[in-house]
Structure 1
Amino acid sequence: MKKLVLAAALTAAASTAFAGAPAEPIIEAPVIVEETQSSSGGIILPLLILIAVAAVVAD
């Protein structure tokens, strides 16, 4: 009787372990957020530096 119960328990455990094929994982694409800059964003800093240098040289 013990062997029958043990065999039934092992069969039940094995059948649930191999119940189906593993599903493919769903991988979502990462969200890329880009910050937009104004067209004059790259020229402001050099102009400020040029004005500061001109002010120092003028003194």
Structure 2
Amino acid sequence: MNQTAVLHGVFAVLLVAGILVQQTPLRVGLIGLGVVCFVAGIVLARRDDDGGAAAAE
């Protein structure tokens, strides 16, 4: 499975868990971790795209 897809899937799970949790610090932590995973997935996707563009030049 693609690493980007895994990170975005983890983001979705952490986001839902953060919404369902009642404790505020835990909620903020889970949503924050989800955002970090989402951004990491975007960075991985961009890094993979940039490698192909540099090789074409």
State the TM-score, normalized to the length of structure 2. 0.38
Name the structure with the higher helix share.
Answer: 2
More contact order relative to length (CA 8 Å, sep ≥ 6): 2
Higher CA-based Rg: 1
